[in-house]
Amino acid sequence: MQSRFSLWLLALCLFTAAVSGIPAASAAGEGETLVYSWNSNVGPLNPHLYSPNQMFAQGMVYEPLVQYQADGSIAPWLAESWNISEDGKTYDFTLRQGVVFSDGTPFDAKAVKMNFDAILKNRKRHEWLELINQIESVTVLDPRTARITLREAYYPALQELALIRPPRFLSPSAFPDDGDTSKGMKAPIGTGPWKLVEIKKGEYDVFEANERYWGQKPFFKRLVVKVIPDSSARSIAFETGEIDLIYGSGGHGGGQLGLDEFKRFQASKDLVTDVSGPLATRSLAVNSNRFPTNDLAVRKAILHAVDKKAMAEHIFLGVEKQADTLFAPNMPYCDLGLPPYAFDLEKSAELLENAGWKLDPASGYRMKDGAELSLDLCFVGNDALQKAVAEVIQGDLRKAGIKVNLVGEEPDSFNVRQKNGEFGMIFDDTFGVPYDPHSFCSSMRVPSHADYQAQLGLPMKKELDAKIGQVLTATGEKTRASLYRDILTTLHDQAVYLPLTHMTSIMVHRPELKDVEFGAAKYDIPFEKMRR
């Protein structure tokens, strides 16, 4: 009796389990659909606003007047050509003929003016971008020619016109009735290769190829972007065929894929993986205005004592490569052939020895005039990557007789230190493509930046700031190149930055997916070139 009862119960158990036995869904990306994933929905895709609009998607739907190329140069895009006045204040853009928005509205000078007027209405929101501060007015010369007038000459105007937001173009037909796009728009209609056709909150967004696109039309008819916030979940979704492509910055958290998982995919023969060229530089600012790093010899000794190669290999698993200069040589004006501070403990010791820093055998650290060679390295405490890097540097510098105190704090305190210069060394990454080098150099003049604070002890700081001011307004290409050479050489010689690695993007896909390339900037994803 008892056993029959048990059998009955067991059957119920099995039944409960079996009710659910439905076969798994088939792979999502087949034929004419490409499936990608992102941390969140792409947002309403207003070209003139920020979060929650996702940059990579804004870049798919909207296009700039000019395009930033991988080598740092600027190429024609919606503008076929342009003419810059002698004084560098007036830019006349001749617009490409036959371009229409995805709803058929023609793209003309009026549309350009309408969009810039909307952006300028919301100036405060865009004040971080110097171009917007510099634009005085935008006028229509004729249907195919638009003029942008600047307050002062500003050479990076073209670079910044290539940005994904805000200087891109919404169809006049999609403008709100009062013309103020900062409050909303009727529909996300641009000139780009893709159209946003469906938003399913928390699940996916769907794009379709823009049949009216003027350039190379996408090979795929549809692009589905699934919402996957977790990087481990993303790697599983890729393995089970729910997504076709992993593309973006590496690392857990905000990245597309953890570096360890990327390495695992890299080891697989059935997959295609790639790492992009340098997009930005992970670096530390070294304080020239504070003991003991106010001594040039100490700064140089530090740069010689850090084994970046080992760091790139073991912390960044080879995905990020060692950086020898503040800006990678592929950034505009940055291929200067500056001699790297090679990893050389003997050289480091010699520099310190000559500067009067003698090793104290008791502590293992160097001393001078009774003061220990000790400095604070500041980082964001809960940032695992910064912590790991900081610990490696602490270990490396110990071998050189330099004591490093690790100061891991919450982001607020970390930012305060960046602003008021209370650090020996502090994490200070460059802004990256396409803001490097001009925006980053520009910010070196602002007292609330770690760069300014770190450079304050340099005897030529004033001169340096003046040169940065000059380079931004210089109109001659040669003048600019020579000014940048001066600025970057000085910063390099003065050893106020400890560049560590160059940040990169990663990609993983199956070999069936072809022509997957890295875009020029972090959020340029050339989906239109991909095919199966």
Residue 382 makes contact with another protein by CB under 8 A = yes
Residue 128 makes contact with another protein by CB under 8 A = yes
Binding segment (CB under 8 A) for another protein, from list 18-26, 101-109, 264-272, 505-513: 18-26
Site string for another protein, 151-190 (x = CB under 8 A): ----------------------------------------
CB contact at 8 A, 378 and 407 = yes
Sheet with 280-286, edge to edge strand ranges? 321-322, 497-503, 280-286, 425-427, 374-380, 403-409
How far is 438 from 215, CA to CA, in rounded Å?
Answer: 30
- Amino acid type, 392: V
> For residues 434-453, which are near another protein according to CB under 8 A?
435, 439, 443, 446, 448-449
Dump the DSSP string for 308-351: HHHHHHHTSTTTSEE--SSS-TTSTT----PPP----HHHHHHH
**Selection from 246, 322, 289 nearest residue 500 by Cα:** 322
How far is 246 from 461, CA to CA, in rounded Å?
Answer: 44
Residue 212 makes contact with another protein by CB under 8 A = no
**Selection from 219, 323, 240, 239 nearest residue 277 by Cα:** 323
Q: How far apart are CB 254 and another protein at their closest, in Å? A: 8
Number of residues that bind another protein (CB under 8 A): 58
Residue 127 makes contact with another protein by CB under 8 A = yes
43 versus 526: smaller Cβ distance to another protein: 43
230 versus 515: smaller Cβ distance to another protein: 230
Residue 133 makes contact with another protein by CB under 8 A = no
CA-CA distances (angstroms) from residue 448 to 164, 444, 456?
A: 26, 9, 12
Residue 260 makes contact with another protein by CB under 8 A = no
306 versus 380: smaller Cβ distance to another protein: 380
46 versus 115: smaller Cβ distance to another protein: 46
Residue 248 makes contact with another protein by CB under 8 A = no
Q: How far apart are CB 252 and another protein at their closest, in Å? A: 12
Residue of the chain from 16, 267, 362, 478 that contacts another protein (CB under 8 A): 16
What angle do the packed helices 477-493 and 461-473 form, to 10 degrees?
150
**Selection from 134, 137, 161, 138 nearest residue 65 by Cα:** 161
Residue 405 makes contact with another protein by CB under 8 A = no
Lookup result for tokens 């500041």? 378
Identify any residues that bridge with 205 across adjacent strands, giving them in sequence order: 199, 225
Q: How far apart are CB 230 and another protein at their closest, in Å? A: 5
CB contact at 8 A, 326 and 341 = no
> For residues 24-83, which are near another protein according to CB under 8 A?
24-25, 39-40, 43, 50-52, 55
Residue 219 makes contact with another protein by CB under 8 A = no
252 versus 403: smaller Cβ distance to another protein: 252
Joined together, the tokens standing for residue 315 give 């912390």
Residue 12 makes contact with another protein by CB under 8 A = yes
Residue 13 makes contact with another protein by CB under 8 A = yes
**Selection from 409, 408, 454, 457 nearest residue 428 by Cα:** 454
Footprint on this chain of another protein (rule: CB under 8 A):
1-2, 4-6, 9-10, 12-13, 16-17, 19-20, 22-25, 39-40, 43, 50-52, 55, 124-125, 127-128, 201-203, 226-230, 232-233, 236-237, 239-240, 242, 253, 382, 410-412, 415, 419, 431, 435, 439, 443, 446, 448-449, 523
